[in-house]
Chain A
Amino acid sequence: MRNIIENLPLKAVFLGLVVLSGFYSCQHGEEGYHGVTDRIKAESKNYHGTSISSEKYIGHLKTLEITENGITFLIPERKGEIKSYSCTECHTKPLKKMQSEDIKKAHWNIKLNHADDNTMSCVTCHNGNDIDNLNSITGNSIDFDKSYQLCRQCHQKEFKDWTGGAHGKQISSWAPPRASKTCVNCHNPHSPHFESKWPERYNTQKVKERK
């Protein structure tokens, strides 16, 4: 019994040392972090931004700010990019009248290759009575600049990834303020699939490289 009591402080000191060394050993590596994840966590705690900005590269773009899923970023405005916008500049009369008077095939170059016939047709997105705006499934009007609101109706997972930045592309710069391409900047809404094609070039043949 006496023996144990005498040894107690010694053991406590020893235990303390072990615990302490445990703390320190977790902070090894180049600058005292266990891994890059720890480094990111620690060093971004006091992040106050940098002097680098994306404005130099996106300044010439016409953009609009949107907030979705609690994330705010810029997207390029769309209406200025559509050559024949606004639609009412040609379609001066209501569509129904045009169909009955003079049957001319319009928009003949557009072939819908988006989902199947049962799921989608022109009127899933376009409204004959309000052709300058898009049309949600429930019949609400959606601005052409915010066409992503149309896509998100079905593509919810892609939409979530897009708001975070995992789907789509940030424009020109990694720095804030963030400007990201919107859906229709990469996908043709009438035929959104990416076609298969020949690669732009071929990989290095490693054997050749060493000759």
Chain B
Amino acid sequence: MSNKEKKWFSLNLKNEKKSGGCGCGKTTGSCDSNTKELKRKDGVDQVFDLKMDRRSAFKKLTASLLIGAGAVSTSCSVFSDEKSKEKAQIDWEEQFKGNYKLMTDEEKSATVDRLVRSYQLRTGKTINMSSKNAEKDVLFGYAFNISKCQGYMDCVNACVEENNQDRKSQMQYIRIHEMKDGKGFNFNDADDNYYHEVPAEGHFYMGTQCFHCDNPPCVEVCPVQATWREEDGLVVVDYDWCVGCRYCMAACPYDGRRFNWSKPEIPENEINKNQHYLGNRLRKKGVMEKCTFCVQRSRNGKNPACVEACPTGSRIFGNLLDPNSTIRWVLENKKVFRLKEDLGTEPKFWYFMD
């Protein structure tokens, strides 16, 4: 990563020892001849040069001071070792990193590297995190066959495991609604918590999750732009930029978004270590999350976990721009519909029947 592009302030704790006699870190020349680097706006200037009201200024100051105090205390302490210094450095840089949406590719991979290293320092275990961008000429779409789904819930199991969802609160991205035949799509009368053998006589099953709208209202309402629509149509969340206001949850007409009411708990041996920054990496308390069409899988060409797990073939996933894809065949040959089409949200999730 080139220093010119840096958008955060570095403590450079690791380089401390290498520096020469004077404080500026130069071994030759005078300390007055400042490098260009100091004139450039880094993370701190970006934050503090902005005009802001007292309240948010105080908030930022307090947060930064806390992190800073931690970092300084570790770095100055005689007892702390290299590892905790590195940890403090990572925490500092993570605190002042920008919004993922605005990052360059180098910045994206830098934050991913920091998160991987941070996890390694904390747990001693290695994870694999990707920052893979959207592929050109790809627009992801999904189709769900309501005559095929039997309510087996294999999809939900696969989703929870793949996406490192909180096991304690049983948060799930997918809901399967059991609906009575002949009553239409009535979500108020649907049974979301059925407890019997499936399929039940006289019922059909309808799955909902994030529909990755092409005109997503959740993105519109986010006050901090922590959620956006990617080029391949995925609506994603930067968990580190989300402030947890839950506006998006209220704005979503499909109940597609989930909130971490408590710290997500996953047994260490069940953590899926194949992660994506915008996908299944570990979340914290107080942030939004939702289905990402398994961005860590789909951007590599794999089907989302729910599609792979479904034993009935109710779930079809693919590239809407590829005229030969199966999803396109479904859209062009079956009688498809979407939920609440009149809202103009343009979901990329179609339902169809045999």
Contact = CB atoms under 8 A, between A and B. Distances in A.
A43 B321 contact: yes
Contacts of B313: 167-169, 181, 186
Interface in A105-123: none
B316 interface: yes
A23 interface: no
A209 B298 contact: no
B137 interface: yes
Contacts of A203: 153, 156, 172, 175-176, 192-194
B325 A174 contact: yes
A168 B143 CA distance: 13
Interface string A140-175: 000000000000000001000100111111101111
Contacts of B193: 202-205
Given A165-B329, A199-B152, A204 B319 contact: no
B127 interface: no
Q: Classify chain A's interface size.
A: 35 or more
A140 to B, nearest CB: 28
A198 B197 contact: yes
A176 interface: yes
Contacts of A47: 137, 321-323
A170 B347 CA distance: 22
A166 B326 contact: yes
Contact of B333 (A39, A164, A178, A208): A164
A210 interface: yes
Contacts of B176: 203
A51 to B, nearest CB: 7
Interface stretch (B48-56, B83-91, B301-309): B301-309
A57 B334 CA distance: 28
A35 B346 contact: yes
Nearest to B312: A194
Interface in A6-37: 29-30, 35-36
Most chain-B CB neighbours within 10 Å: which of A40, A47, A164? Answer: A40
B261 A210 contact: yes
A96 interface: no
Contacts of B214: 29-30, 35-36, 39
A200 B154 contact: yes
A97 interface: no
Most chain-A CB neighbours within 10 Å: which of B214, B318, B330? Answer: B214
A158 to B, nearest CB: 8
A25 B318 CA distance: 30
A168 B315 CA distance: 9
A52 B140 CA distance: 13
Contacts of A39: 139, 214
A203 B157 CA distance: 10
7 contacts: A35-B214, A52-B300, A53-B301, A166-B352, A172-B302, A201-B156, A202-B194
Interface of B: 135-139, 141, 143, 145, 150-154, 156-157, 169-172, 175-176, 192-199, 214-215, 229, 261, 298-303, 307-308, 310-313, 316-331, 333-334, 344, 346-348, 352, 354
